[in-house]
């Protein structure tokens, strides 16, 4: 093959998609796999709201199939502005919103609009794809490893030493892959430190921006609450870019309607970048989403139902792991707080099966769980964390309730094969 760019030659494909494809191949071959890998929804279990589906069909029947404006149609930007105001209490002009085909192009555009090659980009691990986006813009990686003591969310103490000369701090809450959320106190301390850092910088210097991915923010459970930078410190409005959309809130991953909002000069630059890529959401889906968001009763009903159905699965699986832990099995789990993910742990390294098979690494653990328990989950190493971490992400978007008891039966049988 002829020589290609440095970027293409050094690009690492998505580990999660690679794993998901491998699992799908096994399923296609007739294997029964409890597949908890991909952060997506099975539409037969989690369909999009009927009102949204009806609006999409009607939009196509009304011939809404031409190019949309580069920043999104005005009625959708107004509807999203109202949605954020009503449900989150944030006041942003519709001009501060940028619509795109899901959240990924918006994250890319934010990185591209803010970061120059060689500039420091701070992101915690595990986290979703920040290592890849930093690579895209040739940024200087500043990875901050997190621990279960803080629910795998970064602390101010771990971040502040890296603020000097950094241009971007990438945060996500609720967090993919852990399904955990910042406490108000955690986020306040970080935000206060960002403000302090920016006060030190001259007008000629680039400020430290916060990229705040809140795509799962409507999915919180129990006593968990979503907190965000600008609600805590309005003066951060000039430095914060939010990433959001309907993908997870309304189980509409394939509908491809996402939005970013933040400082209008930055949003305008992001719009310019995406206009060259053509990453807009389709016209019909934009019209449909605008109409759906204006149907407040259907929106409220959908949010409640989706939240309850996801939480039911998370809680059942969490309680199953806690029961196994009480029985002496080498497992652990963090109580579900938000999103569609459960954080679980297997402490089975340096164990041996009766046939002599040894488990020496995280890769060995993953293979053991797949081969002997038919359990497919994603190691935190796929999210930039330590390659030998014993923690995993379990996603319930494709989980049938009736599969949960038999999954635990199979897992118990597999773990019973291990010598003590």
Residues 379, 364: contact at Cβ < 8 Å? Answer: no
Closest CA to 251 of 292, 287, 212: 292
Residue that the structure tokens 């990433």 belong to? 243
C-alpha radius of gyration, the chain, whole number: 22
What is the reported pLDDT for 392? 98
For residue 2, is pLDDT > 80? no
Q: Which token pair is 48?
A: 């999009």
Work out the widest C-alpha separation in the chain, in whole angstroms.
Answer: 67
- Domain 50-295 matching CATH 3.30.750.80: the answer reads no
Distance CA 108, CA 123 (A): 15
For residue 83, is pLDDT > 90? yes
If you average pLDDT over every residue of the chain, what do you get?
96
Q: Which token pair is 117?
A: 């090659």
- Report helix, strand or coil for 6: helix
- Residue ranges, comma separated, of all CATH 3.40.640.10 domains in the chain are 50-295
Residue 25's pLDDT band, with cuts at 50, 70 and 90, is: confident
Q: Which token pair is 397?
A: 């978007």
For residue 225, is pLDDT > 90? yes
Residue 15's pLDDT band, with cuts at 50, 70 and 90, is: confident
CA dihedral 330, 335, 338, 340 (to 10 degrees): 30
- Alpha carbon 314 to chain centroid, angstroms: 16
Residues 344, 391: contact at Cβ < 8 Å? Answer: yes
Mean pLDDT of all residues in 84-111: 98
For residue 127, is pLDDT > 60? yes
Residue 75's pLDDT band, with cuts at 50, 70 and 90, is: very high
Mean pLDDT of all residues in 207-217: 98
Mean pLDDT of all residues in 235-259: 98
- Report helix, strand or coil for 167: strand
- Residue ranges, comma separated, of all CATH 3.90.1150.10 domains in the chain are 6-46+301-415
What is the reported pLDDT for 27? 86
**pTM across the whole model:** 0.96
Distance CA 351, CA 345 (A): 15
Instruction: Determine which helix (DSSP H) or strand (DSSP E) holds 94, and give its type and residue range.
Output: none
For residue 420, is pLDDT > 70? no
The pLDDT tens digits for 310-338 are: 999 999 999 999 999 999 999 999 999 99
- Residue 112's alpha-carbon distances to 217, 278, 357, in angstroms, are 24, 15, 47
What is the reported pLDDT for 23? 87
Q: Which token pair is 40?
A: 């997506």
Distance CA 31, CA 335 (A): 30
- Select the CATH number that applies to the domain covering 6-46+301-415 from these four: 3.40.50.1220, 3.90.1150.10, 3.30.830.10, 3.40.50.970: 3.90.1150.10
CB atoms within 10 A of CB 136: 15
Residues 377, 37: contact at Cβ < 8 Å? Answer: yes
For residue 238, is pLDDT > 90? yes
Instruction: Determine which helix (DSSP H) or strand (DSSP E) holds 243, and give its type and residue range.
Output: strand 240-245
Q: Which token pair is 371?
A: 């081969």
Return phi, psi of residue 156, to 5°: -60, -40
């Amino acid at each position: 093959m002829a020589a290609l760019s440095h970027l293409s030659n050094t690009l690492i494909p998505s580990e999660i998609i690679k794993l998901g494809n491998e699992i799908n191949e096994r399923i296609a071959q007739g294997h029964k796999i409890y597949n908890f890998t991909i952060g997506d929804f099975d539409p037969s279990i989690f369909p999009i709201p009927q009102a949204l589906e009806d609006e999409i069909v009607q939009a196509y029947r009304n011939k809404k199939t031409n190019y949309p404006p580069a920043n999104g149609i005005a009625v959708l930007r107004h509807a999203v502005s109202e949605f954020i105001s009503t449900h989150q209490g944030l006041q942003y002009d519709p001009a501060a919103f940028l619509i795109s085909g899901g959240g990924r192009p918006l994250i890319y555009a934010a990185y591209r609009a803010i970061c120059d090659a060689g500039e420091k980009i701070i992101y915690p691990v595990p986290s979703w794809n920040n290592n890849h986006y930093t690579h895209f813009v040739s940024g200087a990686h500043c990875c901050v490893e997190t621990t279960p003591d803080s629910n795998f969310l970064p602390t101010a103490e771990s971040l502040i030493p890296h603020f000097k000369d950094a241009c971007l701090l990438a945060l996500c809450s609720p967090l993919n892959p852990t399904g955990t959320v910042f406490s108000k106190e955690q986020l306040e301390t970080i935000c206060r430190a960002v403000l302090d850092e920016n006060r030190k910088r001259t007008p000629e210097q680039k400020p430290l921006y916060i990229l705040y991915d809140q795509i799962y923010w409507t999915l919180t459970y129990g006593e968990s609450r979503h907190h965000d930078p600008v609600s805590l410190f309005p003066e951060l409005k000039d430095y914060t870019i939010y990433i959001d959309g309907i993908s997870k809130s309304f189980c509409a991953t394939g509908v491809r309607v996402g939005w970013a909002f933040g400082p209008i000069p930055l949003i305008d630059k992001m719009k310019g970048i995406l206009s060259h890529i053509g990453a807009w959401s389709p016209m019909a889906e934009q019209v449909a989403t605008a109409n759906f968001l204006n149907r407040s009763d259907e929106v409220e009903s959908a949010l409640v139902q989706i939240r309850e159905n996801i939480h039911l699965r998370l809680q059942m699986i969490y309680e199953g792991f806690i029961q196994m832990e009480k029985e002496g099995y080498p497992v652990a789990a963090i109580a579900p707080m938000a999103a569609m993910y459960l954080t679980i742990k297997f402490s089975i390294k340096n164990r041996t099966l009766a046939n002599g098979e040894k488990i020496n690494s995280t890769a060995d653990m993953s293979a053991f769980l797949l081969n002997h328990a038919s359990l497919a989950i994603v190691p935190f190493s796929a999210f930039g964390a330590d390659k030998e971490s014993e923690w995993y992400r379990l996603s319930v978007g494709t989980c049938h309730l009736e599969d949960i008891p038999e999954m635990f039966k199979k897992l118990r049988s597999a773990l019973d094969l291990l010598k003590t």
